[in-house]
A = this chain, B = another copy of it.
Amino acid sequence: MDDGVRMSLEEVGREARAILNAYGFSDDHADAIADTMVAAERDGCHHHGLFRLPFYVKAVTVGRAATTAEPTLSELAPGVIAMDAHLAFAPLALQRAHAPLVARARSQGLAALALKNAHNVAALWPEVERLAEAGLVAFAFTSAMPYVAPHGGVKPLFGTNPMAFAWPRRDAPPLVFDMATSACARGEIQIRLRDGRTLEEGWAIDAQGQPTTDPQTALEGAQLPFGGAKGALLSMMVELLAGPLIGDVLSVEAGEADTARSGAPCGGELILAIDPTRMMWEGDLDRQAAHAERLFALMLQQEGVRLPSDRRYQARTRALQEGVVIAPALHETLQALKAAA
């Protein structure tokens, strides 16, 4: 039985950088993107790891993604910065915007980053986790391709529109969640199609609006928001925050612009960062964090309750010691990408 290829995290990073470089990505872009893949593999989020490399490659070979564009920073207000990615991928722009965003959140109490014209196929959690490591409470919102029907409707209009949240902790890594506002990830439907498995109830409808658990029918129909009408409200909210608010596209416009069907959406992302110590008199992160720890302890007292990022941090501990295992099929895909470069 083929168990896959064991790699250290350093090797994951080298592999990602080599392939990205081979397809024309500048070192800075390749490094920033590879960092997100290393973080994803390390934390057991393999769908955002090396698995994404073909998406990046397709976005530049077939689509209109830029490989060398330098992101440019603007100050729009004392509490607002914008980073224009100029059609490149988001990770480098986010990396460059991190320090200015932290500085403004600390000086103003809270600050916003409007990331624009960015291709984005990475997860949101790495950036909010990094902000929480700097002691900030952080939110991120991004829209994507039109896959999700509005509540009561039939046709795809919203993206899977994830939102992420991070809370700084003192004696533990940040508490983080990163969730699609759709009932399931797009990739989960594709994986179940590949594996011949059905979908869960409530994930999707067919083109006539009838519930379906068949992956192919779902891909031709629409995904559903999580949690019915309320999840749909959040989906719409993310659409507004990542689009009209910052002057970037709606999911449906991202879909229209991807004429080459690269599958890599280009659009906006909104990040908010709050300095907890500026949110109260004598704000004191130790005290605020200790108060939150009381909530987490009360949650964990109940059997069956877990904190959202715990599984990810457990995977991290293992991966830092043992490296990660890359599935044989993915390993072949990567070799083919290298050969074709």
Contact = CB atoms under 8 A, between A and B. Distances in A.
Contact of A77 (B82, B108, B112, B246): B108
A150 interface: yes
A291 B110 contact: no
A76 interface: yes
Interface in A287-305: 288-289, 291-292, 294-295, 298-299, 302-305
B179 A233 contact: yes
Contact of A304 (B110, B153, B167, B245): B153
A90 to B, nearest CB: 17
Contacts of A179: 230, 233
A151 interface: yes
A64 to B, nearest CB: 21
A328 interface: no
A152 B227 contact: no
Contacts of A276: 244-245
Interface in A90-127: 107-112, 114, 116
B231 A280 contact: no
A40 B24 CA distance: 59
Given A291-B244, A295-B244, A279 B114 contact: yes
A292 B244 contact: yes
A54 interface: no
A284 to B, nearest CB: 9
Given A245-B279, A305-B150, A110 B80 contact: yes
Nearest to A155: B302
Interface of A: 74, 76-80, 82, 107-112, 114, 116, 137, 149-155, 157, 165, 167, 177, 179, 181, 226-228, 230-231, 233-234, 236-237, 239-241, 243-247, 250, 252, 272, 274-276, 278-281, 283, 288-289, 291-292, 294-295, 298-299, 302-306, 308
B305 A153 contact: yes
A295 B251 CA distance: 9
B244 A302 contact: no
B112 A82 contact: no
A154 to B, nearest CB: 6
Contacts of A245: 137, 274, 276, 279, 288
A177 B150 CA distance: 15
A304 B237 CA distance: 19
Nearest to A165: B237
A88 B306 CA distance: 36
Contact of A306 (B152, B230, B280): B152
A79 B105 CA distance: 9
